[in-house]
Every structure is written in C-alpha cells, then in structure tokens.
Amino acid sequence: MNRPLEGSWAQVIDYLNTLPNEIVSIDLPAGLLADKHTPGNAVVKATRTFSFESPKRAFLFPENAERVGDWEYGSIGLHLDFYNKTETPFHYLTRHQAGLLLRPRTKFSHKGTFGHALLIAGSYGKMGAAVLAARACLRSGAGLLTVHAPRIGFLALQTAVPEAMYSPGHRAHYWTETPDLQPFQAIGIGCGIGQAPETAAALEEFFRMMESGNSGTPGLVLDADALNLLAQHPHWWRLVPRNTIITPHPKEFERLFGKTADDFERNDLQRRKAQEHGIFIILKGAHTAIACPDGACWFNSTGNPGMAKGGSGDVLTGLLTGLLAQRYAPRDAALLGVFLHGLAGDRAAAEKSERGMTAGDLAEAVGKVWNW
C-alpha cells in the first residue's frame, strides 16, 4: 500500500476501531503504509499483527505502536536467495546476525590482546554514571580499563569498581584535561560529565588531540553530555573522527540534528547524518536504530521498557567502549553492543522484573549474556 486510505474505506476502519474486539492484522494493519509515515486516523488499530519474512519498518517506530500492536513475523517460504538479493539499507538485528559478529577468545591470548579502554566520565553529583559505564565495560571482555574522572570521584570508583584503574582529573568536580591517550585502543566520553564551560573546553581540546593524530586512532564513543556539548558547538563536527559511535536518545538526537515531522523522517535524517559525518548513530529506543556511514540502518530486536531508566545509557557506552578496545570494527561493536545491551536488559527483567530492575542490574547482566 502506498497511500493513505480515504472515503468509505476510512469510515469502515473508523468503525472497526470503535469495537471492543481484538483485531488481528495479517501482513500490515489495513491503512498502514509499510515504509513511510501514515497520517490521520484511517488505520486499523490492531491488537496483534502477523507479518512475513521480516518486520516492516513501520512496525519499529513509536508513532505506529497503537496501530501494529504486538507483532510477530514468520517465513512464508520465500527463497533465501531472493530474500538475500533484495537490496535494502534496512536490517533487523537478530540473534543470528549478532552471533556472526562474535569473535573467539583464544587460549594463548593475554590482557593486552583485549585492549585498554578509557572512559572519561562523571562529575560531582553524577559519579554513578561513571560507575555504571565502568561496570559494563569490565563485563565487555576488555583487557584493561582506566576511568578518568574528577578528583572527587576517586573513592566511588576505587570502591565500587576495583578492577578499573583511576586516572585523577585536575579539578575536584568536573573534567578539564585529557590524559595521554597513547595507551588506549578505545575511548568513551560523556557519561555524567556535565556541561561546565571547562568541560566543554576539555572536549574541544580532546577533539584536537585526536585530530593531531599523535594519539593513534583509538575507537571513540560519544554519549550524553558530550553530545549535548557537541549540539551547542556545531562547528566541532568537523573535528569528530570518522567511525565515531554516538548514542543519543531522542531528545539528544533532536538537539544535535533538529526536529522532524515524524519517525520516518527522523530515521531518514539519522541515516543522512551518519553518512554526512562518517559516523555510527545509535538512536536509543524500543527498537534502537543503528545508522552506519555507508547508509545501512539496523533495528535492534532485543530489550524491553524496563531499561527506560536513568543509567541504562551509561551501560551501553561502557559496553561499546569495551568492544572497541578489543578491536572490534566500529560497525561490529555498534551492532553487537546494542544487541547485547538489550539482551542484558531482557535477562535483568527475567530475574527481577521490568519495573523492579535497575541500571546496576543491567550492568551486571551484561556479564551473563555472552553465551546466549
């Protein structure tokens, strides 16, 4: 279907939606466009939708939540060759796909093999974000972790995360200067750093250090206040290294790239910006979307609303940084990290409940989902 329903069809649907019955849609709820925004009300509000081969893009956006209801999909026997040859930039990140990205951990490897991650995180009142990111990073399989944090963070970090080394900042309360980056294969910046002017200056200086090339080319993840600062200083975009992974939630995305009329437009904008800046944009949400520099866009299949809590994002940043430290390619790290983050959320919800789980549970659960 390519255009919205009108006239008497629309009236029938309006009527259907007033009934108390459970409505099951096959393929697509009547009136819903599969691949673009469907305005207006002339769309069946299905309780449940069964679809074929793979989920339609329309299923993956909040704007259609009420129309699609719970959905599932199954094969109708399309030949796999046909399926694989259908070129599309849109992919659904399944257990199988994620499994292909996992690399073995070989016997004679040592902690150097698995890289050294650096997290620049935390500020006065937000040290917990650093703790959560560090815990997730430690459960990512990385060999070594250093957390650079303001001096006030020393005790919280060394008590709560004894496995991580602590690199003390110059100031007590916020990030002002970047340590030598030579030892690190991956850097994650932003969790709980706040937006002090000195921190903004530190972030700009960091970008210039990266640009100088003296620090090698470590993988980079930007999150939270690093993104908010970037949104305030759009001229820094030219300093952001290629293949950087950024992980905005919808509000941060809007601050960075502006408003859009609907979820399809937002997804298009996300893909365009990923190509324009040569970066990976992970837009967090129910079906987290990962836009790649080559135009591809993956939608995640794991996770649950129990993760809609402060600190979940810090866990993702720590995990992604840990994967990059192990020299996973940025695309593989982005996909695997998002998938595992959701899987850990599902594990935590199974152990506690969606309501009762915390971001701390989520970070712990990262350690338990690798042998999924």
Q: Which of 1, 26, 65, 78 binds a second copy (CB under 8 A)?
A: 65
| Contact flag: residue 310 with a second copy (CB under 8 A) | yes
Q: Any contact of residue 164 with a second copy (CB under 8 A)?
A: yes
- CA-based nearest residue to 49, from 29, 64, 19: 29
Decide whether 48 or 309 has the Cβ nearer to a second copy: 309
Stretch binding a second copy (CB under 8 A), from 28-36, 110-118, 214-222, 264-272: 110-118
- Binding status of residue 124 toward a second copy by CB under 8 A: yes
In angstroms, what is the minimal distance from the CB of 233 to a second copy?
24
352 binds a second copy (CB under 8 A): yes
Q: Which of 11, 109, 217, 232 binds a second copy (CB under 8 A)?
A: 109
What is the contact mask toward a second copy in residues 238 to 277, using x (rule: CB under 8 A)?
A: -----------xxx--------------------------
Q: Which amino acid is at 102?
A: L
Q: Is 309 among the residues that bind a second copy (CB under 8 A)?
A: yes
Is there binding between residue 359 and a second copy (CB under 8 A)?
yes
Q: How many residues sit in the footprint of a second copy (CB under 8 A)?
A: 72
106 binds a second copy (CB under 8 A): yes
182 binds a second copy (CB under 8 A): no
Structural tokens at position 74: 């199954």
- Residue closer to a second copy by CB (options 142, 245) is 142
Is 158 among the residues that bind a second copy (CB under 8 A)?
Answer: yes
Does residue 127 belong to the site contacting a second copy (CB under 8 A)?
Answer: yes
Say how many C-beta atoms besides its own lie within 10 A of residue 21's C-beta. 8
Site map (CB under 8 A) of a second copy, residues 191-230, x = contact? ----------------------------------------
Distance CA 345, CA 305 (A): 9
Contacts of the segment 275-279: beta carbons below 8 A, 24+ positions apart = 277/237, 277/240, 277/244, 278/242, 278/243, 279/240, 279/242, 279/243, 279/244, 279/245, 279/246
Is residue 84 part of the contact set for a second copy (CB under 8 A)?
no
User: Judged by CB under 8 A, does residue 368 bind a second copy?
Assistant: yes
Residue 310: count other Cβ atoms within 10 Å of its Cβ: 11
CB of 335 to a second copy, least distance (A): 16
Q: Can you say how many angstroms the Cα of residue 211 is from the centroid of all Cα atoms in its chain?
A: 25
Please state the φ and ψ torsions of residue 145, each to the nearest 5 degrees.
Answer: -135, 130
**b (16+ CB within 10 A) / e for 276-309:** ebebbbbbbbbbbbbbbbeebbbbbbbbeebbeb
Examine residue 171 and tell whether it contacts a second copy (CB under 8 A): no
* Half-sphere exposure (Cβ direction) of 323: Cα atoms closer than 13 Å: 27
Decide if residue 92 touches a second copy (CB under 8 A). Answer: no
Nearer to a second copy by Cβ, of 23 and 160: the residue is: 160
- Shortest Cβ distance from residue 340 to a second copy (Å)? 9
Annotate 157-208 with DSSP letters as a single string.
HHHH-TTSEEEE-SSSSS---PPP-TT-SEEEE-TT----HHHHHHHHHHHH
Cβ proximity to a second copy, 203 vs 359, nearer residue: 359
Q: Which residues contact 30 (CB under 8 A, 6 or more apart)?
A: 5, 9, 13, 43, 44
Three-state secondary-structure class, residue 69: coil
